[in-house]
A and B are shown apart, each in its own frame.
Chain A
């Protein structure tokens, strides 16, 4: 099975090609450039360098979120349209699980993304299992939950923002990978995506934002019981 995988959920951009679980080629950059400019040329060039064509691809794996809302939409629009128009199987994986998959540890693994205002997108993983579901949450809540365990913890992702707080809270029990040590390596996404079943309805495949917009939260609070998502968009 030939696999095209990509992750645009945060500043790093990773495109990888794999044959089953064996990664053949990885394109990766952490430059602060627009994914909208870079992603498709990167896909085209990576596939050409491997002497493959897009029609050879049997499965597309994309990081589905959480992460930058815009970044997610860039990757997922490409994944949806490619899968739809070339009839390729499509699989989405958690952007946090991708990072957790890259770490070998028997303790707790906590990938996290800074969501500003002392909030994070984070999940807790242990030996490949997501034992605290990926969520948007105040970092204090995450830390409270982690304090009910006494295992070693590895933090990765946007650790630089929270490193003082992590050390203060968990002391020697915590180990941190820097952001540059936490870049998606192109292998984790393949290992995860190869095990999953392809999505059945590509149109219904969308980013896992894990957070509603502020406008919607305000509206829902003011209009309890009136939410009617089926009615919001229609073809004319």
Chain B
């Protein structure tokens, strides 16, 4: 049994977890700064960094206590070193490296995006080759995994991330930040009566674009305001969400057709969206040889347990780092070589 303690602090969650063999969560302490950043309508990096250092030892102590594990029982320390906000990443990175030095444990560097995908293992084991749709506030990409711990990007967003477009539309509708959950709830109460464009639906690639959709929503609202018309906010939310999901679905269908895979993973913060989960479950019914493995809703947001899951992949391959490991805020997967 391999026990890994993991650290995650790339954005506005400070988290430490202990995970066994990459799939069994012994503890997952998460401190969220959401109430703080709601004051500003989005994450303020310096404020986020300050909160991380206020919470780092609290979540560390909680993770050890909840799992009832002593440092001597651990095998390695995994940590997110990118992508993310550099000041935020630094606190988790320094905390993890310090813990590793104190207890003479190897350090496993983890790509935050790999962490999101690895969280599917908390649902059931990913079978390879696999395809992942990674959707969050910072990323929207289709990732091919020919084998475990091997990632190639098939396509990604050319402008806004899907989650970012939810937040921007949320700001337009004066919804609290982050807006994803509220828009999802509103969409359930409304009808998708407004036809928004689904960008790039006919282009021959796997890329996404959401800025055109965002502009169309803004124009729609401004146009209605100018004419003094009241808009049905729930219908607007439903129409917007539909357009996002249509775009995600279209690209996913194309990728699944071109790359026959054994499992399909839905990961990232936007994977919590109930309508997206439902729509993808229906799409996957057309692909009988592909198992649908959405990340459990509880682990779609940022958390350290997912870092422990991805860290285990690196642990098995002995991909360790030294005490001089630094952050890599722009870290990404390689593009697929064509």
Contact = CB atoms under 8 A, between A and B. Distances in A.
B30 A84 contact: no
Contact of A36 (B36, B103, B326): B326
A38 B326 CA distance: 10
B39 to A, nearest CB: 5
A73 B62 contact: no
Contacts, number: 127
Contact of A76 (B53, B58, B327): B53
A68 B70 CA distance: 35
Interface in A77-110: 77-78, 80-82, 84-86
A209 B47 CA distance: 12
A147 interface: no
Contacts of A112: none
Contacts of A168: none
A47 to B, nearest CB: 10
Given A69-B46, A234-B32, A235-B29, A82 B323 contact: no
B35 A231 contact: yes
A131 interface: no
Interface residues of A, number: 39
A233 B36 contact: yes
Given A81-B102, A232-B36, A213 B46 contact: yes
Interface string B302-327: 00000000000000000000111111
A74 interface: yes
A85 B51 contact: no
A235 B61 CA distance: 13
B94 interface: yes
Contacts of B30: 235-236
A34 interface: yes
Nearest to A227: B39
A233 B98 contact: no
Interface of chain B, helix or strand or loop or mixed?
Answer: helix
Q: How large is the interface on B (under 10, 10 to 19, 20 to 34, 35 or more residues)?
A: 35 or more
- Residue in A34, A69, A209, A213 with the greatest tally of chain B CB atoms within 10 Å: A213
Contacts of B40: 215, 219
B94 A203 contact: no
A40 B35 contact: no
A43 to B, nearest CB: 7
B183 interface: no
Contacts of B59: 235
B123 to A, nearest CB: 20
- Residue in B50, B95, B325 with the greatest tally of chain A CB atoms within 10 Å: B50
Interface stretch (B85-93, B197-205, B226-234): B85-93
Interface in B27-53: 29-33, 35-36, 39-40, 44, 46-47, 49-53
Contacts of A74: 90, 94
Contacts of A233: 14, 31-33, 35-36, 51, 54-55
Nearest to B301: A236
B53 A235 contact: no
Contact of B33 (A37, A40, A78, A232): A232
Contacts of A223: 39
Contacts of B102: 54, 81-82, 85-86
Contacts of A77: 53, 56, 90-91, 94-95, 98
Contacts of A34: 326
B180 to A, nearest CB: 16
Nearest to A53: B104
B47 A215 contact: yes
Given A74-B90, A215-B47, 8 more contacts: A34-B326, A37-B324, A73-B49, A73-B91, A81-B60, A82-B98, A85-B98, A213-B47
29 contacts: A37-B326, A40-B94, A40-B323, A41-B322, A41-B324, A44-B323, A69-B46, A69-B50, A69-B87, A70-B90, A73-B49, A81-B60, A81-B98, A81-B102, A82-B98, A85-B60, A85-B98, A85-B103, A203-B58, A203-B61, A206-B50, A206-B54, A231-B35, A232-B36, A233-B51, A233-B55, A235-B32, A236-B30, A236-B31
Interface of A: 34, 36-41, 43-44, 54, 69-70, 73-74, 76-78, 80-82, 84-86, 202-203, 206-207, 209, 213, 215-216, 219, 223, 231-236
Task: Rank and list the top 6 A-B pairs by shortest CB-CB distance, nearest first.
Answer: A232-B36, A81-B98, A40-B323, A77-B94, A215-B44, A84-B57
